[in-house]
Structure 1
Amino acid sequence: MELWIPVTIAAAFLQNLRSALQKHLRTSLGLTGASFVRFGYGFPVALAYVFALNHFAGYAFPSFNRTFLIWSVIGGLAQIFATILLVHLFSLRNFAVGTAYSKTEPVQAAVFGLIILGERITAGAVAAIIVGITGVMMISVARVPLSWHNLGAALVSRTALIGIASGAIFGISAVAYRTASLALDSPHPVMQAAATLAFVTVFQTVFMLIWMAVKDPAEIGRVIRSWRSSSLVGLAGVLGSACWFTAMTLQPVAYVRGLGQIELVFTFMASVFFFHERINRMEMAGCLLIVTGILLLLMWY
Structure 2
Amino acid sequence: MEIWVLITIAAAFLQNVRSAMQKHLKGRMGTTGATFVRFGFGMPFALAYMAILAFVLARPLPVPNGAFFFWAVVGGVAQIAATFLLVHLFSFRNFAVGTAYSRTEPAQAALFGLVFLGERASAGTLVAIAVSVAGVMVISVARSVVSVRSLFTSVLTRTAGIGLLSGTFFGVSAVAYRSASLALAPSLPAPDYAVQASYTLVFVIVMQTVLMLGWILARERDELPRIAAAWRPALLVGFVGATASFGWFMAMTLQQAAVVKALAQVEMLFTFASTVFIFKERINRLEIVGCALIVVGVLALLAYG
**Is TM (by shorter chain) over 0.5?**
yes
In the alignment, is residue 4 of structure 1 matched against residue 4 of structure 2? yes
Q: Distance in 1 between matches of 2:77 and 2:241?
A: 17
Retained in 2: the 8 A contact 1:255–1:297? Answer: yes
Letter in 2 for 1:284: I
The offset of 1:34, in angstroms, is 1.4
Q: Do the aligned partners of residues 165 and 31 (structure 1) sit closer, same or farther apart at CA in structure 2, a change above 3 Å counting? A: closer
Q: Do the aligned partners of residues 94 and 39 (structure 1) sit closer, same or farther apart at CA in structure 2, a change above 3 Å counting? A: closer
In the alignment, is residue 299 of structure 1 matched against residue 303 of structure 2? yes
In the alignment, is residue 116 of structure 1 matched against residue 116 of structure 2? yes
In the alignment, is residue 277 of structure 1 matched against residue 281 of structure 2? yes
The offset of 1:267, in angstroms, is 0.5
Structure 1 residue runs without a partner (length 5+): none
Q: Do the aligned partners of residues 224 and 97 (structure 1) sit closer, same or farther apart at CA in structure 2, a change above 3 Å counting? A: closer
Retained in 1: the 8 A contact 2:15–2:267? Answer: yes
Q: Distance in 1 between matches of 2:28 and 2:124?
A: 46
Residue of structure 2 in register with 1:36 after alignment: 36
Letter in 2 for 1:54: A
Q: Do the aligned partners of residues 102 and 23 (structure 1) sit closer, same or farther apart at CA in structure 2, a change above 3 Å counting? A: closer
The C-alpha deviation readout for 1:73-106, integer Å capped at 9, x for no partner, is 1101101112233344455697555443322111
Structure 2 residue runs without a partner (length 5+): none
Q: Do the aligned partners of residues 152 and 116 (structure 1) sit closer, same or farther apart at CA in structure 2, a change above 3 Å counting? A: closer
Moved more, 57-66 or 242-251: 57-66
The offset of 1:150, in angstroms, is 4.8
Retained in 2: the 8 A contact 1:97–1:155? Answer: no
The offset of 1:204, in angstroms, is 0.6
Retained in 1: the 8 A contact 2:31–2:84? Answer: no
Q: Distance in 2 between matches of 1:33 and 1:105?
A: 24
Matches within 5 A, 1:111-150: 111-150=111-150
Q: Distance in 2 between matches of 1:259 and 1:44?
A: 28
The offset of 1:15, in angstroms, is 0.2
Retained in 1: the 8 A contact 2:32–2:84? Answer: no
Q: Distance in 2 between matches of 1:39 and 1:46?
A: 10
Residue of structure 2 in register with 1:197 after alignment: 201
SS in 2 for 1:217: coil
The C-alpha deviation readout for 1:166-195, integer Å capped at 9, x for no partner, is 212211110000111111123211100000
Q: Distance in 2 between matches of 1:297 and 1:10?
A: 17
Q: Distance in 2 between matches of 1:189 and 1:239?
A: 15
The C-alpha deviation readout for 1:30-89, integer Å capped at 9, x for no partner, is 221111111111101101111110112221111111211111111011011122333444
Retained in 2: the 8 A contact 1:86–1:99? Answer: yes
Moved more, 78-87 or 167-176: 78-87
Retained in 2: the 8 A contact 1:106–1:257? Answer: yes
The alignment-based identity, stated in percent, is 56
Letter in 2 for 1:244: W
From 245, 250, 272, give the equivalent of 2:249. Answer: 245
Matches within 5 A, 1:144-223: 144-157=144-157, 159-184=159-184, 185-186=187-188, 187-223=191-227
Residue of structure 2 in register with 1:68 after alignment: 68
Q: TM-score, normalised by structure 2?
A: 0.93
The offset of 1:157, in angstroms, is 4.8
Q: Over aligned residues, Cα RMSD in angstroms?
A: 1.8
Q: Distance in 2 between matches of 1:162 and 1:18?
A: 20
Moved more, 217-226 or 189-198: 217-226
Q: Distance in 1 between matches of 2:180 and 2:232?
A: 32
Retained in 2: the 8 A contact 1:94–1:154? Answer: no
Retained in 2: the 8 A contact 1:93–1:159? Answer: no
The offset of 1:115, in angstroms, is 1.7
Q: How many residues align?
A: 301
Q: Distance in 1 between matches of 2:67 and 2:41?
A: 27
Q: Distance in 1 between matches of 2:92 and 2:222?
A: 27
Retained in 2: the 8 A contact 1:96–1:144? Answer: no
Q: Distance in 2 between matches of 1:152 and 1:54?
A: 51
Retained in 1: the 8 A contact 2:76–2:207? Answer: yes
Moved more, 34-43 or 142-151: 142-151
Retained in 2: the 8 A contact 1:108–1:168? Answer: yes
Q: Do the aligned partners of residues 229 and 87 (structure 1) sit closer, same or farther apart at CA in structure 2, a change above 3 Å counting? A: closer
